[in-house]
Chain A
Amino acid sequence: DGGITQSPKYLFRKEGQNVTLSCEQNLNHDAMYWYRQDPGQGLRLIYYSQIVNDFQKGDIAEGYSVSREKKESFPLTVTSAQKNPTAFYLCASTPSRGLAGYTDTQYFGPGTRLTVL
């Protein structure tokens, strides 16, 4: 079955720690995205990558970092510099990159709920 997997489902972090959220897809999609969702709000774009070894900042990139060493994988690191990291994090992917990718349907993983203790 093709799809997007995210792990872990729940993550607890102490203040001052970095944590890494995993996102893997076997859809052979070019582009991948990370979003943050806060209670009662829509999704906000953190980072996106259209091709291996390349990624761009979204609207709220401060305190986060990403890598794209493989087409299937796009891990997100929440650093200690992120002031309020408690949120629900969603990873998504689209088949195309570039302008075509912006109009593709984005398919989402099941999400990771991060809580800072």
Chain B
Amino acid sequence: AQKVTQAQTEISVVEKEDVTLDCVYETRDTTYYLFWYKQPPSGELVFLIRRNSFDEQNEISGRYSWNFQKSTSSFNFTITASQVVDSAVYFCALSERKLIFGQGTELSVKP
């Protein structure tokens, strides 16, 4: 069965620190997609990245980077030089035939 685990419920850092949010998934399929979403205090889910199971290349977008490792079924998200505006709940999600969300990691970046 599909499952997504975000073991870190809450993380607190000071501005400019780097922070990594962990995501571990379970699936029996060879073809699947992984996503990260950001949920700021306003509540709307903001799409960050989509990655298919055949593309293990790491991705960097500004201060954001993602490390996909099929061998460990992980899709971790790193924010470099964190800022207060990064404070939000971050969700990792897995899609085979439907989208399954992890429980989210609440990131608090303090000035």
List residues of A whose CB falls within 8 A of some B CB: 33, 40-45, 48, 58, 88, 90, 92, 99, 102-103, 105-111, 113
Contacts and interface: CB of A to CB of B under 8 A. Distances in A.
Given A40-B9, A43-B101, A107 B95 contact: no
Q: How large is the interface on B (under 10, 10 to 19, 20 to 34, 35 or more residues)?
A: 20 to 34
Contacts of A92: 45
A99 B32 CA distance: 11
A30 to B, nearest CB: 16
Contacts, number: 54
Nearest to A6: B44
A102 B96 contact: yes
B24 to A, nearest CB: 14
B103 A102 contact: no
13 contacts: A41-B103, A42-B101, A42-B102, A42-B104, A44-B101, A45-B99, A102-B99, A105-B35, A106-B35, A108-B44, A109-B44, A110-B42, A113-B43
